[in-house]
Chains A and B, each alone.
Chain A
Amino acid sequence: MSDKVHLNVNGLDIQSDPKKLLIEACEDSGIHIPRFCWHKRLDPVGMCRMCLVEIETPRGKMLVPSCTTEITDEMVVDTESDVVKKAQEGVLEFLLINHPLDCPICDKAGECPLQDQTMAYGPGESRFVEEKRHFEKPINISEIILLDRERCILCARCTRFSDEISGDPLIEFIQRGNKTEVNTFPNEPFRSYFSGNTVQICPVGALTSTSYRFKARPWDLKSTRSTCNGCTMGCSIELNSSQNKMLRILGVDNDSVNQGWLCDKGRYNFEYLNSEKRLKVPLKSVDNNFEESEIQDVYSELSEIIKDRKTKVNFFLGSNLTNEDYVAFREFSKSISDNEQSFYINDDLLYQGHFGQDNELAKIDDLNSSDAIVVWAEDLKEKLPVLYLRVRQAVKKGVKLIVFGHTNETLSDIADVFYGKETVSENFEIIKDVSKLKEIKDYVIDKNITAIIGKSTPQQSDASVSELFEFLKSNANTKILNAYTKGNTYGAFQTLENIKGTKDFVKDISSENTDLLFIVGADPVGRSFYSNEISGILQGLKTVVSLDLFIHETTELSNYVIPISSTLGEKDGTFTNIEFRTSRIDKLVPSPGQTVSDWEFITSLMNFAGLSSNLNSLEDLNNKAFEGIEDSSRPVFDNLDKPSNLDGIINTDTPTINTSENNLSQSLFYIGEKLYGDSVTERHSESISLLGSKKFIEVSQNIVDKFNLTYEKCSMTQDDLEVTVSYKVNNNLPDDLIYIPINRRDLNKFDFSREITVSPSRVKEGLNVN
């Protein structure tokens, strides 16, 4: 006896869950009702009037918008009557009277709901002989998004997305009636981290991106589904290419993870794939110069070093690798030594975390079903943007939100309580007795909690993070999302043992214990908090092999540089996200020149060196990666390709993380990372490089006054290093704490344990280009 609701639609009996919208209930049963403004993930507004259908009422048949009508038992619906057809034709005619005849030059043509619905439901001719409405076309509403107001049908999807989902309403309707347009405020462009989503959901070609504009027609595109590896969310994506060039990434609606949304970095940071500067040939350092080399020679020389199995080898692994890559390195290390190997991953914030039997790990969906969410982690909007969207969604549904954070305002607009600098000290410790905080008592004690817990900054002590979590565990029914943020970190957790981070790398590694170091897909010299130390270490090692896409500061210090293919788009494999959900990564385009996959390189080296290996293919590695897991939930390729598993398979695990403990340290600075920076891939991606290359710091007004800063720029000096940066005033910062985003080269070269002198810039602010 189910509590399903029965409807009669066009004479057919269909069933649906109660409280569903009529348009959705019909859609689920295969009856398509045309629409523009309704979107599954947005609140319905009934504005376009395209979805009008007739329902029987006591007063006769009534035309209602099916997107705002909830189904009731025994409802009788007609979606094909003459009245409905006339209404549909009428609405389309109305939409087209002011719509420009841009199809030949419009990006959307071929995948355009307006075109498709006009063909299916619209009039064949126009009766409009008046002058159409005109706007300047198009206008840049941000560096990467263009708006053509003539094409806009005022469905409000973009404005509703920005208001409801991403919480940064920087575009809105202005004017009234027939003169209504979407626009931004002058000098306040649409700089949202999620602006690309509006381009995807716009039902016409009004919103377009500079990245894809005029590049291809949808019928030219080859597509495949894959997983983004930009952060640990692992959003489902669709890759589009034409003529073997990657052209576009779209968000795929994965109900459990990203629900169709992507951050702009995940969406547009693929352009580096097509960069001229991609490494295509192996390089070898000879007398301080790099010379091109043959891959066979590299294998040969490296084999010489390792074949006696006495060489001390270490690995510094980036987070852009697939699970199969990690397994390949693991097997390699086993084949050259019987000693237990530590694997260092490129994460300044790595610490023990909270795993194991005692700790219940959360799924992202748990956010929606909790009583409250507690956040004590890095700025979610910057590091895990789509998780930030999921948190917002949960709060909208009524879940309480408690945030501990003193410097950023992220989530403070919707948090039920935001504990700022009175509760969180400059050293990122919680300085009040948590059990006495009112909101904790009201919302947390004895309730169902999802805790998002992680370190906010490299210098933070481990204890300060764990203390809050231990309290939550003892006083509530708590599940935890350990907020590690970098790429396939969880894939490393699943496949490697004895994992450490950059801090331990700096502590452990020296020429005494390392003859050969592999740096795989990482640029710690250019990006890490420990840049200077790492630079020193690398220079003292005998042989350093870098595997990467481009040359950068770290490859400059290497002996061999191997060109590799990008995990994004050029490789097959698997990826594991923050829920230990493993999903497919698919190859769509060929990689350039002599590039090889990381796993290909290392297994080839093993073969060349005659080291034992029964790993001859990617499938072998894939099988090896998930050996211990029982068949039905093994995330091997065959299993993942099944339709029911396309969203990924979860296999929770207990990683062996052996970081040394970080104790309380006095921090003079708050070190963080913004979503955009000038990392290796970003500076070679046209769109993203416009957004994140600027060097800046954040200071309180107190510092501005103290050092007499002017002209929006200042100088930071320490010994011989001087960097000119812009500064922004952020009065949430404690008076003397400076926020420095170190994912910008130069900014990470300071010694943060010592003072940095801040002084007014001697360079006057240049002309504003934007």
Chain B
Amino acid sequence: MSWDEKLLKQAKKIIKLYPQKRSALGPLLHLAQSKDGYISDDSISVISELVGITEVQVKSVSTFYSMYKQEPTGKYLLSVCKSISCEINNSSEVIKKVQEFTGLNNNETDEDGFFTFEAVECIGACGGAPAMQVNYETVEGLTAENAINLCSWLKEKQPDIVVADDMQEDFGGVKSFDWAISDSTGATSTAPGFQTLKTTKVKK
């Protein structure tokens, strides 16, 4: 098994949370995503053993959901919203400019393994349209120009954790609602930053 002791231990803890093992499939796939940046065949084998279903059954679930990536992703996943509220607020311009800057089409990763770009469906930031996410940390009220500035900053600073509040402050605009306080938590991989998965860190 290519999952190390620590990861397996974490996986088993997650499985214990649910009345039936199979329910842990979702979080375990997020864990696999955080480990490799995508759901590798090897992770599928490990998970199928842990949960007690066949590998194709694991694959059937992992390919159903958009957040489980089937091919390797870069360090930063740029998800720009294209749904109705963002669309009528010029998100297509943001998408175009970000694609130009990164040189990527939809669902592509650059050769350095730095950025992956995707145009996604509604991320619940409609009041701050157009909006995007970096590793599922939301930045609202972007102009096309600021979106590119954000990408440049990522390329330059290469932060280990992406904190939404920081990015919002420097590059964001109108917010959907008052975010109030920041607790300086953020994501450490292209799996959502969530405590139980240990994919969250607090910025010191």
Contact = CB atoms under 8 A, between A and B. Distances in A.
A168 B59 CA distance: 15
A184 B54 CA distance: 10
B63 interface: yes
A175 B64 contact: yes
A172 B60 contact: yes
A172 B57 contact: yes
B54 A174 contact: no
B160 to A, nearest CB: 33
| Chain B interface mostly | helix
A707 interface: no
A184 B58 CA distance: 11
A185 B44 contact: yes
Query: Which of B41, B57, B60, B65 has the largest count of A CB atoms less than 10 A from its CB?
Result: B60
A186 B54 contact: no
Interface in B31-48: 41, 44
B87 interface: no
Nearest to B41: A186
Contact of A184 (B56, B63, B65): B56
A170 B63 contact: no
B55 interface: yes
B63 A188 contact: no
A711 interface: no
A169 B56 contact: yes
Interface in A133-186: 168-176, 183-186
Nearest to B62: A174
Interface string A596-622: 000000000000000000000000000
Contacts of B54: 168-170, 172, 185, 188
A185 B63 contact: no
Interface in B51-74: 53-57, 59-60, 63-65
A168 B55 CA distance: 11
B64 A188 contact: no
Interface in B107-140: none
Given A185-B44, A186-B41, A174 B63 contact: yes
Contacts of A184: 56
A387 B44 CA distance: 32
B59 A172 contact: yes
Contacts of A174: 56, 59-60, 63-64
Contacts of B63: 174-176
Nearest to B60: A172
B40 to A, nearest CB: 11
A174 B41 CA distance: 14
A183 B54 CA distance: 13
28 contacts: A168-B54, A169-B53, A169-B54, A169-B56, A170-B54, A172-B54, A172-B59, A172-B60, A174-B56, A174-B59, A174-B60, A174-B63, A174-B64, A175-B63, A176-B63, A176-B64, A176-B65, A183-B56, A184-B56, A185-B41, A185-B44, A185-B55, A185-B56, A185-B59, A186-B41, A188-B54, A188-B55, A188-B56
Given A170-B54, A170-B56, A172-B57, 4 more contacts: A169-B53, A172-B60, A175-B64, A185-B56
